[in-house]
Chain A
Amino acid sequence: MVSAVAFIGSDKVAAANRRGDLLIWNLLSTGDKSPEPARRLVGHTGPINRLLCSPDGKTLISAGNDRAVRFWDALASDGNPGTIVMNDGYRFVGVTEKVAKLPDPPPPVTAKVVEQKPIREFAGHKEWIWGLALSRDGKTLVTGDDSKLVILSDAQKGTEQRRWKVKQWVRALDISPDGKVVVTAEQLPHLSEKEAENGLRGWDAQTGEMKFDASKGLSGGVTTVRFSDDGKYLAFCVGSIDRDGPAGKVFLLNPTTGEKARELTPAHVRGATDLAFHPDGKHLFTCGRDRVVKAWQLSDGAQVHEISLSLQDKGKQGPFTPTLHAVSIAPDGKLLAVADAEGRVVICSLAAK
Chain B
Amino acid sequence: MNRNIRAGACNSGHHLSRRSLMRGLLTTAGGYAVANWGALTHSQTIAAEAKRSGKRCIMLYMGGGASQIDTFDMKPGRPTGGEFRPVQTKVTGIQVCEYLPNVARHADKLGIIRSMRTKTPDHGPGGYYMHTGYNPGERFPHPEAGAMIAKYCENPDSDLPSFVKIGGQSGIYGSGYLGPRYEPFVVEEDGRVPNFVNPSVGTEVQERRGELLDFMEQRFAEERKGEPFAAHRTAELRTVRLMRARQAFNVSAEWEKAKERYGDNKFGRGCFTALKLVEAGVSFVEVAHGNHDTHMDNFPISKALYSTMDPAWGSLLDDLTQRGLLKDTLVVWTSEFGRTPAINVRAGRDHFGRAWTTVLAGGGIKGGQHYGSSDRDGFEVADNPVGEADFIATIYKSMGVNHRAKHFLGSRPIWATPEGSKPIEQLLG
| Interface positions of A (Cβ within 8 A of B) | 1, 18, 46-47, 65, 89-90, 92-99, 102, 128, 146, 169, 188-192, 195, 240-242, 316, 320, 322-323, 341-342
Contacts and interface: CB of A to CB of B under 8 A. Distances in A.
Given A95-B340, A242-B297, 4 more contacts: A1-B345, A190-B305, A241-B296, A320-B345
Contacts of B351: 96
Interface stretch (B191-199, B253-261, B286-294, B319-327): B286-294
A18 B83 CA distance: 9
Given A102-B379, A189-B304, A322 B345 contact: yes
A342 B345 contact: yes
Given A96-B350, A97-B121, A146-B303, A341 B345 contact: yes
B380 A98 contact: yes
Contacts of A323: 346
28 contacts: A18-B83, A65-B83, A90-B79, A92-B341, A93-B343, A94-B342, A94-B344, A95-B341, A95-B379, A96-B342, A96-B352, A98-B354, A98-B379, A98-B380, A188-B304, A189-B297, A189-B301, A190-B301, A191-B293, A191-B294, A192-B291, A240-B297, A241-B296, A242-B296, A242-B297, A320-B345, A323-B346, A342-B345
B156 interface: no
Contacts of A93: 342-345
Main secondary structure of the interface of A (DSSP, over half): loop
Nearest to A19: B79
A92 B350 CA distance: 12
Nearest to A188: B304
B347 interface: yes
A95 B377 CA distance: 12
Given A95-B340, A98-B380, A90 B80 contact: yes
A92 B342 contact: yes
10 nearest CB pairs, A to B:
A90-B79, A92-B342, A191-B291, A322-B345, A189-B300, A189-B301, A189-B304, A96-B340, A95-B342, A192-B291
A341 B346 contact: yes
Interface centre among A99, A146, A195, A342 (most CB of B within 10 A): A195
Main secondary structure of the interface of B (DSSP, over half): loop
A1 B301 contact: no
Given A102-B379, A189-B304, A191-B301, A92 B80 contact: yes
Q: How large is the interface on B (under 10, 10 to 19, 20 to 34, 35 or more residues)?
A: 20 to 34
Interface string B340-369: 111111110011101000000000000000
A320 B300 CA distance: 18
A302 B261 CA distance: 50
A190 B340 contact: no
Interface string B12-52: 00000000000000000000000000000000000000000
Interface of B: 64, 79-80, 83, 121, 290-291, 293-297, 299-301, 303-305, 307, 340-347, 350-352, 354, 377, 379-380
Contacts of B345: 1, 93, 316, 320, 322, 341-342
Contacts of B354: 97-98
Contacts of A102: 379
A316 B344 CA distance: 11
A178 to B, nearest CB: 32
A109 B354 CA distance: 33
Interface centre among B80, B297, B380 (most CB of A within 10 A): B297
Interface centre among B297, B300, B341, B354 (most CB of A within 10 A): B300
B83 A192 contact: no
Nearest to B351: A96
Contacts of B294: 191
B291 A92 contact: no
A18 B304 contact: no
A97 B354 CA distance: 7
A49 to B, nearest CB: 10
Nearest to B355: A98
Contact of B79 (A92, A190, A242): A92
A53 to B, nearest CB: 25
Given A90-B79, A195-B291, A242 B352 contact: no
Contact of A322 (B79, B290, B291, B346): B346
Contacts of A46: 83
A241 B377 contact: no
A192 B189 CA distance: 14
A316 B345 CA distance: 9
A98 B117 CA distance: 11
Contact of A1 (B121, B347, B377): B347
Contacts of A241: 296-297, 301
